[in-house]
Amino acid sequence: MDRSDLSEPLYALEAHRTDMGEATIAGLFAKDPRRFADFHVALDDILFDFSKHRVDRTTLALLLDLARAAKLEERRAALFAGDIVNPTEHRPALHMALRNMRGAPMRAAGVDVMPEVLAERRKMLAFAEDVRNGRTRGATGQTFTDVVNIGIGGSDLGPAMAAEALSPFIAPHLKLHFVANVDGADLADTLKDLALERTLFVVCSKTFTTLETMTNAAAARKAVVAKLGEAAVAAQFCAVSTAQKEVAAFGIAEDRRFRFWDWVGGRYSVWSSIGLSLAVGIGAAHFEEFLRGGETIDRHFVEAPLARNVPVLMALIEIWYRNFWDYAVQAIIPYDRRLRRFPAYLQQLEMESNGKSVDLAGTPIESATGAILFGEPGTNAQHAFFQLFHQGTEIVPVDFLVAAAPTAADPDQHRLLLANCLAQSEALMRGRTQTEVETRMRALGASEAETAALAPHKTFAGNRPSGTFLLRQLSPCVLGELIALYEHKVFVQSVIWNIDPFDQWGVELGKELASGLAPLVAGKNAPLDKLDSSTAGLIAQLRKWT
């Protein structure tokens, strides 16, 4: 990180990193009996414990100096004011307006967007309720029992993740399905057991041209027409898009077309009509609770002082690890099976947003930017990659997520789940010294030879950082709060790195090349001489085998 306006806080942080030397997280606890009290923030439904991170009061003070030097507060104000914060596409990023429940004015290019947002929300939720309650039916007059969401990226990950997370709130007579992959097996496996006359298809595509989405939509349309006739398309399909003409050409009726706006990025769109399938499943009231959760965090992000601002703290701690400790990977471990898609959702949110190598001016960045995210629910993860967390050579900071109370699950099993989550964060921090291992082995009757041979293998270095999000309970409101916390975390990081978190040009090149290669893969005689030898060789072998 070499921005001249940040040179003083950066230099101070580099010096502090050196000063910390071999200081351990366990040692920080030993020196400070108030550490937990001072290193957590409690919101109404979420407690963020960052006391097991490798930070002290000096670290936080210097990181906050860095945030102020980067003009975080001014950039945050610009975001909420509807200024152009996505300069490469010349757009604001006003996804916060989608969860503005009070209707207070929010402006894009000087125009209050809230009247349109509220009107579209009312239209979408009314339709969702009509489908859910059987007032809106399919072409044969039967009520819908299945909803198939066709999208990709944010048009799939958001509603799919939320639908699984909130599955206890989904009406028992409805099943939600999500199709994203252009691999025809995705759609075929979804449709094989569905009654098409009782299935509502929700086609989600901002431009209504996305290759994967429109390929799957066309295949679904073909299946409906083959069984129910052309006229059935209007009854079995609805769409969420900014491209109203293309939606109409597909055969979708006016009252089943739902909009969102170009100031909504795909990975921030679950709050919009992209959440239609979710709203059908959980109902309008619960969907509004979900929106209120996001709105609650918006207020917190704007109003809370930086030192007690959860998204700010989340972002700065990751900056500390990414840029001063060279930790390139971060893990998201929800101790809740229903949050198993949450790590994948955050992968898109963070890696697509901050996976950039040039700054806002187009100048190459010399420092590291976005971390690599991955995750899996506990306790499954404990029996998979936690070995590397505890004893590997890579340090992987972890976000643990766990609810105090279960939702539609056995309380005794949930207490065991909680114990495992808390034990893992403690084990990562404390570790176990070789002396402790040897003492323990001797107490269990091991010989001196066995103790000497095995003790190094049973030693844990510890000092592995983690943070814990303790949720009151996984509800629509709390899920909304969680998503918004991570959204604002990503924005804060982008400010420090001075990058555009709202474009995704890196996604485009592969799409363009795929369009050019598709005819060559399908054809038998088209020349391959303009391709690199690897691509040409692979296509030649494909032609032989197909």
Kindly give the residue spans of alpha helices, DSSP state H, lying in 323-385: 342-346, 353-354
Kindly give the residue spans of alpha helices, DSSP state H, lying in 242-324: 244-250, 276-282, 284-303, 310-319
How do residues 213-229 score in pLDDT, each as one tens digit? 999 999 999 999 999 99
Instruction: Supply the DSSP symbol for 352.
Output: I
Residue 21 has pLDDT above 90, yes or no: no
Residue 108 has pLDDT above 70, yes or no: yes
Burial class (CB in 10 A: 0-12, 13-18, 19+), 364: exposed
Residue 84 has pLDDT above 70, yes or no: yes
Task: Tokens 């000497």: give the residue.
Answer: 452
Secondary structure of the chain: what % helix, strand, coil (to 5)?
55, 10, 30
Of residues 90, 122, 133, 134, the one with CA closest to residue 108: 90
Q: What is the mean pLDDT of residues 24-32?
A: 95
* CATH superfamily of this structure's domain 112-288: Glucose-6-phosphate isomerase like protein; domain 1 (3.40.50.10490)
Kindly give the residue spans of alpha helices, DSSP state H, lying in 333-394: 342-346, 353-354, 386-391
How do residues 340-386 score in pLDDT, each as one tens digit? 999 999 999 999 999 999 999 999 998 999 999 999 999 999 999 99
The answer to whether residues 246 and 213 touch, using CB atoms and an 8 Å cutoff, is no
How do residues 168-191 score in pLDDT, each as one tens digit? 999 999 999 999 999 999 999 999
Bond prior to 363 in cis (omega within 30° of 0): no
Q: What is the mean pLDDT of residues 503-529?
A: 88
**Length, in residues, of the chain:** 546
How do residues 111-163 score in pLDDT, each as one tens digit? 999 999 999 999 999 999 999 999 999 999 999 999 999 999 999 999 999 99
Amino acid letter, residue 12? A
Quote the pLDDT of residue 223.
97
pLDDT band at 308 (very low <50, low <70, confident <90, very high): very high
Sequential DSSP letters for 186-215: HHHHHHTT--GGGEEEEEE-SSS--HHHHH
Instruction: Supply the DSSP symbol for 350.
Output: I
Give catalytic residues, as residue numbers: 352, 383, 511
Instruction: Supply the DSSP symbol for 463.
Output: -
Task: Tokens 């998979």: give the residue.
Answer: 384
Quote the pLDDT of residue 5.
80
The answer to whether residues 39 and 264 touch, using CB atoms and an 8 Å cutoff, is no
Of residues 478, 441, 420, 509, the one with CA closest to residue 47: 478
Distance CA 68, CA 60 (A): 12
pLDDT band at 546 (very low <50, low <70, confident <90, very high): confident
Q: Is the pTM of this model over 0.75?
A: yes
Residue partners of 441: CB distance under 8 A and separation at least 6: 450, 451, 454, 455, 458
Residue partners of 119: CB distance under 8 A and separation at least 6: none
Sequential DSSP letters for 465-527: -EEEEEEEE--HHHHHHHHHHHHHHHHHHHHHHT--TT--GGGHHHHHHHHHHHHHHH-SS--
Q: What is the mean pLDDT of residues 84-100?
A: 97
Distance CA 219, CA 371 (A): 37
Distance CA 284, CA 186 (A): 29
The answer to whether residues 202 and 258 touch, using CB atoms and an 8 Å cutoff, is no
pLDDT band at 508 (very low <50, low <70, confident <90, very high): confident
Quote the pLDDT of residue 321.
98
pLDDT band at 3 (very low <50, low <70, confident <90, very high): low
The answer to whether residues 371 and 362 touch, using CB atoms and an 8 Å cutoff, is no
Quote the pLDDT of residue 139.
96
Quote the pLDDT of residue 467.
98
Quote the pLDDT of residue 338.
98
The DSSP bridge partners found for residue 204 are 240
Distance CA 151, CA 348 (A): 14
| Token reading at 392 | 């590997």
C-alpha torsion sign, points 356, 361, 366, 369: negative
The 10 Å Cβ neighbour count of residue 492 is 26
* CATH superfamily of this structure's domain 25-53+306-427+464-502: Glucose-6-phosphate isomerase like protein; domain 1 (3.40.50.10490)
C-alpha torsion sign, points 414, 416, 419, 421: negative
Quote the pLDDT of residue 525.
85
Average pLDDT, rounded, for the chain: 96
Residue 268: half-sphere exposure toward Cβ, Cα within 13 Å: 29
How do residues 430-472 score in pLDDT, each as one tens digit? 999 999 999 999 999 999 999 999 999 999 999 999 999 999 9
How do residues 403-434 score in pLDDT, each as one tens digit? 999 999 999 999 999 999 999 999 999 999 99
Helix (H, G, I), strand (E, B) or coil at 31: helix
How do residues 245-259 score in pLDDT, each as one tens digit? 999 999 999 999 999
Orientation angle between helical segments 284-303 and 476-497, nearest 10 degrees: 40
Quote the pLDDT of residue 313.
98
| Token reading at 54 | 């490798």
